[in-house]
Structure 1
Amino acid sequence: MAAAAKRVPLPAILLANDLLDGDVVFAFVDGAGPLAWTRDPALALVAADDAAADRLEAFAAAELRGNKVVDAYLVDVAIESGSPVPRHFRERFKTLGPSNRPDLGKQAGEGIVAAPKG
């Protein structure tokens, strides 16, 4: 009997890298529509239960097969001021952008686009 893959603790969000530009993207729901990608981590869909996490994983698998993103995986988050914040340094760092210039990039509010990617 094969062991089931261990899932990250919930709540969690799905992040990936856009295949064309390499930017970090997050799964979100565009209104009442289907899942899509955004560069804004505050808009990420938060999976609070197994059904929601399964939905995110299915979306990731489809997007990987469609060559839209790479390195898609669930990330456990804490909710701070109403927004999901990754619990681990690597993923938190990915949401902020370059570290060599804190006055530029996502940490300075640049490059965050609420509209879906693709």
Structure 2
Amino acid sequence: MAQHAPATVVTANALRSGKVVWLTASDDWSHEMRAACVYLDAAQAEAALARAQARMGEVVGCYLAEVRPTPQGPEPLHFREVFRRDGPSHAARIPA
């Protein structure tokens, strides 16, 4: 049985503020993960990542983060993304 690539979002840090941002469907940056464009196709995700990485005057450290799509927006699959989304003051909310 073939495995499907996980859903992903493009994330980075805003160059001037250092704050975490996510790429939206309109190729804007949002400070809200729920606004991130979720890519179900690996080739589309890689193309979006390449476009984001070319925006050196806006962001640094672009990469793809695995998520689970939900009606409320993408939910991160890894602790790092939960931490980046919620910040250190919300670490107690992270499921075990």
TM-score, length of structure 2 as denominator length: 0.79
Question: What is the Cα deviation at residue 51 of structure 1?
Answer: 2.9
Note the alpha carbon deviations across 1:35-83, whole angstroms, 9 max, x for none. 11011100100010023212221222211xx331111100000123441
Q: Does 1:14 align with 2:4?
A: no
Return the alpha-carbon distance in structure 1 between the equivalents of residues 74 and 90 of structure 2: 24
1:91 corresponds in structure 2 to: 81
Change (3 A) 1:39 1:100: closer
TM-score by length of 1: 0.66
CA distance in 1, matches of 2:90, 2:81: 17
Tell which structure's C-alpha radius of gyration is larger.
Answer: 1
1:25 aligned residue = 21
Q: Which runs of 5+ in 2 are unaligned?
A: none
Higher helix share: 2
**RMSD of Structure 2 on Structure 1 (CA):** 2.2
How far the C-alpha of 1:95 sits from its partner, in A, is 0.4
Partners in 2 of 1:90 and 1:29 — Cα distance?
23
> How far apart are residue 100 of structure 1 and its match?
6.8
- 1:41 and 1:100 map into 2 onto residues whose CA distance is 15
Specify the alignment match of 2:53 in structure 1.
61
* Percent of aligned positions that are identical: 34
Question: How many equivalent pairs are there?
Answer: 89
Q: Which runs of 5+ in 1 are unaligned?
A: 1-8, 108-118
